[in-house]
Amino acid sequence: MDYLHDLQFGVFASPEASRVHETLELAQLADVVGLDVFMVQDHPYNAKHLDTSTLLTAVAARTSSIRVAANVANLPLRPPVGLAKHIATLDLISGGRAELGLGTGAFWDAIVAAGGERRTPGEAVDALVEAIRIIRRVWGQDPDQPGARSVTVPGEHYSVTGMHAGPFPVHPVEIWLGAYKPRMLRVTARLADGWLPSLGHADPEALPGMNAVIDEAADRAGRGPQAIRRMYNVFGSFGTGGGFLRGTADDWAEQLATVALTDGMSTFVLGTDDPDVVRRYAAEVAPAVRDLVDAERARRARGADDVGAAPPASLPTSAAPADGAPLAVRATPDDGVRLSPTLPWQEDDRPVTAQPEHAAYSAAEQAVPQHLVDVHDHLRGELAQLRDIVGQVRRGAMSTGAARSIINTMAMRQNNWTLGAYCETYCRLVTGHHTLEDRSIFVHLRRAEPDLGPVIDRLEEEHHVIADVLEQVDDALVGLVGTESYGRAGQDALDEIQRALDLLTDTLLSHLAYEERELLHPLARHGFG
């Protein structure tokens, strides 16, 4: 059964304390390459694991578009009121990117050792049902009491009486349940937005039976099967072997497309801590799965089969249509306006390569350069916001308090709502993007197309120059961070930050435009690597 949900792809990473920096970098990579969700497991009693809620907050602060969630939150050690406030806070901090993966709990000896209550399987499910009602009401998102300002939920395991609801998330937070047994599957059908089983506990051959339980319960509840997104934690390795997710990227794509079309699984969350695997998953597997599923859905919509019919015995092995189209992605033009009296490089000696006149690319191939432009557009947009705030503070049109209120609505935020904190966040984002290009994408393009060497050399040189300019911005921030009234010293600091911002604007916008002009076609040909 295909429930016709849009396809999504994500990463399920380890919260090992010994590799915290690698995990944060992996989250940034997943964000930059266009994946949809970043998740980590939650075992608060595990001495080797970071606290999941704190880790997800750090991930949200370092990313701009990817959604974040626990996979899944350990309810016995995370009481529902505190859990609801954590998710609502995370949603506010991230600009609406928090979701809630939730489970009844496991490893009861460890839970009890950590101060939790031991529950029978039936009690654990009862507690989960009570917790979901409380959480949705704290969020103001209970369908039975939408927007209610007071929370009263009597229960055997959790009781709340007259508590004020809030804070409210900025988007309708989804609840995804890890469920396998019939009763939990029926609870998923009644109360959840998504079903989140794992390969190994629910292998592909077990999915139809579990789906059938959810579908029947969803119909009885008046929701219908399509109301529940079917998600899947998957694990695999690229190679030439047989078995599920044990072959090439094309093998992965065909297998995941089959699971999507026959069992309705539409969000595939890959368990890995390997950045190279994440890159391949995003660049090779995800676009191919989308193309295969779109093609089969279109065939069915033309009447060749019923919507719920099985796919052909052999799906096409190529994600690209036989006839591509000219590159529709366009480089952002450079208007030539410069704000600084001098620049740290000459713009007229940049190497260039010949652009093909009649090249054609599939939709999946065109998505790669489009993603580069999208990431660049995000950087350009945040730079414009940063300039506007500095300008208003300089003109006296905005106080530091008002500036903090505006920054509070932006995608990139910090707990310290100061102009300096925001600028530092932006600088870190730019540096992270350039580091990813230098260490991964550029290495791949050099191998795939040696003639690009001079262009890539120049782009890397400009990355170093921009890093120096970012340090100038950081230096200018010293007098602003935490300052309530500026005075003469503050005004001098604002003058310096304006100079540094002008130079950053000139160099960054010029660089991004040059990079797009030179790399859109190579990225369409070779992908991110």
Report the C-alpha gap between 514 and 437 in whole angstroms: 14
Tell me: do 292 and 367 sit in the same domain.
no
pLDDT band at 143 (very low <50, low <70, confident <90, very high): confident
Mean pLDDT of the chain: 86
pLDDT in the model for residue 434: 76
Mean pLDDT, to the nearest integer, of 8-27?
95
Retrieve residue 155's tokens. 């229960």
Report the C-alpha gap between 111 and 118 in whole angstroms: 7
From 221-230, 327-336, 467-476, the region with the lowest mean pLDDT:
467-476
Residue 412 belongs to domain with CATH number: 1.20.120
Tell me: do 16 and 121 sit in the same domain.
yes
Structural domain ending residue among the three candidates 301, 322, 346: 301
Report yes or no: 83 and 75 within 8 Å, Cβ to Cβ: yes
Q: What is the DSSP string of 241-279?
A: --STT-S-HHHHHHHHHHHHHHH-EEEEEEE---HHHHH
CA angle 297, 298, 304 (to 5 degrees): 90
Mean pLDDT, to the nearest integer, of 224-246?
93
CA angle 55, 60, 64 (to 5 degrees): 155
- Higher pLDDT residue, 476 or 67? 67
Tell me: do 266 and 119 sit in the same domain.
yes
Which tens digit of pLDDT belongs to each residue from 44-68? 999 999 999 999 999 999 888 899 9
Tell me: do 293 and 380 sit in the same domain.
no
Decide if 311 is inside a domain. Answer: no
- Higher pLDDT residue, 146 or 104? 104
367 three-state secondary structure? helix
Decide if 262 is inside a domain. Answer: yes
Number of H helices, E strands in the chain: 16, 11
Helix (H) or strand (E) holding 233: strand 229-234
pLDDT band at 477 (very low <50, low <70, confident <90, very high): low
Tell me: do 281 and 409 sit in the same domain.
no
pLDDT in the model for residue 410: 42
Which tens digit of pLDDT belongs to each residue from 508-523? 999 999 999 999 999 9
Decide if 16 is inside a domain. Answer: yes
Tell me: do 245 and 100 sit in the same domain.
yes
Q: What is the DSSP string of 175-216?
A: EEE---SHHHHHHHHHH-SEE--BTTTS-GGGHHHHHHHHHH
Mean pLDDT, to the nearest integer, of 210-229?
95
pLDDT band at 222 (very low <50, low <70, confident <90, very high): very high
pLDDT band at 439 (very low <50, low <70, confident <90, very high): confident
From 31-45, 177-191, 278-292, 320-334, the region with the lowest mean pLDDT:
320-334
Token match 């995804």: residue?
A: 176
pLDDT in the model for residue 381: 83
Mean pLDDT, to the nearest integer, of 310-327?
54
Structural domain ending residue among the three candidates 256, 277, 301: 301
Tell me: do 39 and 158 sit in the same domain.
yes
- What angle, 0 to 180 degrees and rounded to 10, lies between the N-to-C axes of helices 20-32 and 52-62? 40
Closest CA to 289 of 270, 308, 309: 270
Which tens digit of pLDDT belongs to each residue from 152-169? 999 999 999 999 999 999
Burial (CB count <10 Å: 0-12, 13-18, 19+), residue 322:
exposed
pLDDT in the model for residue 487: 59
Which tens digit of pLDDT belongs to each residue from 374-414? 888 878 887 887 788 778 777 777 655 554 444 444 433 33
Tell me: do 257 and 405 sit in the same domain.
no
pLDDT in the model for residue 146: 75
pLDDT in the model for residue 429: 65
Mean pLDDT, to the nearest integer, of 175-200?
97
Range of the structural domain that residue 517 is part of: 363-526
Closest CA to 135 of 106, 108, 96, 175: 175
Mean pLDDT, to the nearest integer, of 241-259?
93
Decide if 331 is inside a domain. Answer: no
Mean pLDDT, to the nearest integer, of 297-326?
58
Decide if 344 is inside a domain. Answer: no
Amino acid identity for residue 402 in this structure = A
Mean pLDDT, to the nearest integer, of 237-252?
91
Tell me: do 266 and 389 sit in the same domain.
no
pLDDT in the model for residue 402: 54
**Looking at the predicted structure, is the pLDDT value of residue 81 above 70?**
yes
- Assign 3-class secondary structure to 277-311: HHHHHHHHHHHHHHHHHHHHHHHHHCCCCCCCCCC
Tell me: do 139 and 288 sit in the same domain.
yes
Alpha-carbon dihedral angle through residues 409, 411, 412, 413, given to the nearest 10 degrees: 30
pLDDT in the model for residue 221: 94
Structural domain ending residue among the three candidates 301, 319, 346: 301
Q: What is the DSSP string of 80-120?
A: HHHHHHHHHHHHHHHTS-B-EEEE----HHHHHHTTPPP--
Tell me: do 232 and 367 sit in the same domain.
no
pLDDT in the model for residue 428: 64
- Higher pLDDT residue, 478 or 328? 328
The highest-confidence range among 267-281, 291-305, 318-332, 371-385, by mean pLDDT, is 267-281
Mean pLDDT, to the nearest integer, of 464-491?
67
Retrieve residue 397's tokens. 């049109």
The total number of structural domains in the chain stands at 2
**Looking at the predicted structure, is the pLDDT value of residue 438 above 90?**
no
Which tens digit of pLDDT belongs to each residue from 411-424? 333 333 345 555 65
Decide if 352 is inside a domain. Answer: no
Residue 140 belongs to domain with CATH number: 3.20.20.30
Decide if 183 is inside a domain. Answer: yes
Amino acid identity for residue 521 in this structure = H
